[in-house]
Amino acid sequence: MQLNVLLPLALALAVPAVAQGDGRDIDDVKEPDKGAPMTSWTPGQQWWARGSRMSNHGYGEAAGRLVFADEIGDKLSELGRVSLIDACFQYQKPESSALLSWALCRDDVKAFDAKKLQAELTAEGLNDASQKRILGDASDVLANAKKIGDAVETAAKDDAGIQQVLKLVEQARTEWNAYLGKNKDAFARYLTLKDAVRSGKSNNKGFAGCYEATQPAFAKLVKATKFPWELPGDYLPGYIAQLTTSIESYITTASFAACAYSVHESGEALAAAALSQRAGVIRVGYRSLALAKALDPAFKPKFAERSLNFDSIRSSWKDDQIKMENVNDIAPIMTPVQGTVSKVKADGDVVHISFKGDSVDACLEWKTTNRIQSYAANGDPMYEKVCKKRGKVANQENDAQVSSKFATGIAPGTSVLIVFKFPVTVWKAKKFVAVLGQPGGLVK
């Protein structure tokens, strides 16, 4: 496939620019405020020249740039597109092993518009030197992408495995468009709620009516999900991982979690667990969905080229992290407390819980199996564990307080596990009464 990207860029270089003294340098463009809506970012604020800019907002790694491009949608500037392309290919060589990067980013290479880039530079009021530097950098980025694309497309001609990888984006686009066709309002709400969390204010207008809009779908998802009875490791991220397995389930979970941020301080733990994720979990557009498909262990393309190892190829992507700014990342992994409830007392919008001063049955020794249960934040598989030895541990003795909206099922005689004031599970007689503040939850 021939990519006609260099000629338009060369023509753009010849477009007259403002005199050097009549404008500012790209480094003088103010970094976006962390509380500002993402769609308010100007083209200059989407530029990669200051690497910390994207990192400061949680989108610093290559997978983060894909999510950023998906979430900002038609507000993605050509400066932002070049930044994405650079992140995709900066560590790749022009050979067939770059097939995943090319699959994920070739549409953006093809979509690049040099005239729009020049117009953005002019609109930003950049001086002549800064414009020429950026155009030169963009030319280098596109030239590198072209070499890589030519190598991969040539190798794909007689390798069905490479063709299979390249088709992922087409499949993802079809699947995403089908979802969006039926759930446009739900996705728009997700973006609004994420911006509301980004504001750092629980009274942000984006939260208006969010509980009534997001809770029913989240409750339905929880009720239909099979959860492991015992979960070693961090409980809140672990139970969230059971839910975020598709486009719809991710948007449903992330939207409710973002709304929970505004309901009560404990909702910050839920928001952090759902919105800060590793690559392949967040599915918010065709790019991030294609990456999720590529990182799925069940996807096993067979290559004619024996030197290609897809596990190795995707390893450079699977460790990428996408962070949610303005939330406490420690909240979801704080030490849990658990106990059997002796008394419950409502007090306005919170519930006070007293515990029995005895002991509760718990697992004292775990054995790891070879069955994958979920994936850690860095992409490593987390294997199911079975309990080899049970025993008694002391009940939580101090009273606890939770939001009344999250206190579903908490009653005298039930047992509850709480992280950062958020009730993760409520159970009785080896049956879930509630999970993540919602009724029910099946046992695996």
Neighbours of 371 (CB within 10 A): 10
pLDDT (0 to 100) of residue 56: 76
Q: Binning pLDDT at 50, 70 and 90, where does residue 312 land? A: very high
Alpha helices in 112-246 (DSSP H): 114-123, 128-156, 160-166, 168-199, 210-224, 235-243
Written as six digits, the tokens of 190 are 């997700």
Query: What sign does the CA torsion over 139, 142, 145, 149 have?
Result: negative
What is the DSSP secondary structure assignment for residue 335, as one 8-state letter?
A: P
Q: In sequence order, which residues have a C-beta less than 8 Å from that of residue 1 and are 6 or more positions away?
A: 149, 150, 153
Query: pLDDT tens-digit profile of 209-247?
Result: 999 999 999 999 999 999 988 777 789 999 999 999 999
In DSSP terms, 203 is beta-bridged to none
State the pLDDT confidence band at 3, using cuts at 50, 70 and 90.
very low
Residue that has been written with the tokens 């047992």 in this structure: 415
Q: DSSP character for 127? A: -
pLDDT of 365 strictly over 80: no
Q: What single letter denotes the amino acid at residue 57?
A: H
Q: How confident is the model at residue 299 (pLDDT cuts 50, 70, 90)?
A: very high
pLDDT tier at 2, thresholds 50, 70, 90: very low
Which residues lie closer than 8 Å to 330 by C-beta, 6 or more apart?
A: none
Tokens of residue 67, six digits: 């999510």
Q: Is 157's pLDDT higher than 50?
A: yes
Quote the DSSP letter at residue 28.
Answer: G
Residues 167-181 pLDDT 10s: 999 999 999 999 999
For residue 188, what are the contacts with CB-CB under 8 A and spacing of at least 6?
A: none
Strands 415-419 and 422-427: antiparallel
Residue 106 and residue 136: Cα distance in Å, rounded? 20
CA distance 441 to 219: 9
pLDDT at 22 (0 to 100) = 64
Question: How much of the chain, in percent, has pLDDT values that exceed 70?
Answer: 87
Q: Each residue of 97-143: pLDDT tens digit?
A: 999 999 999 999 999 999 999 999 999 999 999 999 999 999 999 99
Question: How far apart, in whole angstroms, are the C-alpha atoms of residue 58 and residue 321?
Answer: 8
Q: What is the identity of the amino acid at 126? A: L
Question: What is the structure's pLDDT at 219?
Answer: 97
Q: Compute, in degrees rounded to 10, the torsion defined by CA atoms 168, 87, 381, 173.
A: -20
Please determine, for residue 377, whether its predicted confidence score (pLDDT) is greater than 50.
no
The pLDDT value recorded for residue 15 is 43
Q: Region 416-420: what's the mean pLDDT?
A: 94
Average model confidence (pLDDT) across the chain: 88
Q: Give the span between the Cα atoms of 320 and 215, in whole angstroms.
A: 30
